[in-house]
């Protein structure tokens, strides 16, 4: 899925989203939008899409058909690529494990 938060422009908006809100909620949204130099619609759409992406990216359960699952398992079974920086990090003593003179 491609991120959508950065790809907004007014020309490609072709559907309407209507919501009801309390006066205080609308005022809060308007103040935040103004603080960012945006109008209410742009602010709400960008904020809602950013949150929607976060929700979807945070999913821990995903469904795969048998073929995709097998490909996934094969990728997991491959040995990891050599990473010298990671190896150095994992073998280096933590600061609290080092002697004062090291």
Q: Each residue of 74-83: pLDDT tens digit?
A: 999 999 899 9
| 21 falls within a domain | yes
Q: Where are the alpha helices (DSSP H) in 1-102?
A: 23-35, 40-57, 66-77, 84-91
| 72 falls within a domain | yes
Which residue in the block uniquely carries the two structure tokens 């205080």?
24
% of the chain with per-residue pLDDT over 70: 86
| 34 falls within a domain | yes
| 90 falls within a domain | no
* CA 93 to each of CA 30, 82, 86, 96, 102: distance values in angstroms, whole numbers, following the listed order: 51, 20, 13, 8, 10
| 56 falls within a domain | yes
| 96 falls within a domain | no
- pTM of the prediction? 0.53
Could you read off the pLDDT of 28-44 as tens digits, one per residue?
Answer: 999 999 999 999 999 99
Band of the pLDDT at 3, cuts 50, 70, 90?
Answer: very low
| 73 falls within a domain | yes
| 18 falls within a domain | yes
Band of the pLDDT at 9, cuts 50, 70, 90?
Answer: low
Structural domain boundaries enclosing 24: 1-79
Total domains present in the chain: 1
């Amino acid at each position: 899925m491609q991120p959508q938060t950065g790809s907004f422009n007014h020309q490609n908006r072709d559907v309407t989203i209507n919501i009801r809100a309390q006066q205080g909620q609308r005022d809060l949204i308007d103040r935040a939008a103004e603080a960012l130099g945006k109008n209410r619609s742009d602010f709400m759409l960008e904020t809602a899409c950013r949150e929607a992406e976060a929700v979807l990216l945070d999913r821990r359960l995903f469904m795969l058909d048998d073929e995709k699952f097998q490909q996934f398992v094969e990728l997991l079974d491959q040995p990891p690529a050599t990473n010298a920086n990671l190896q150095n990090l994992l073998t280096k003593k933590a600061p609290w494990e080092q002697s004062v003179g090291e």
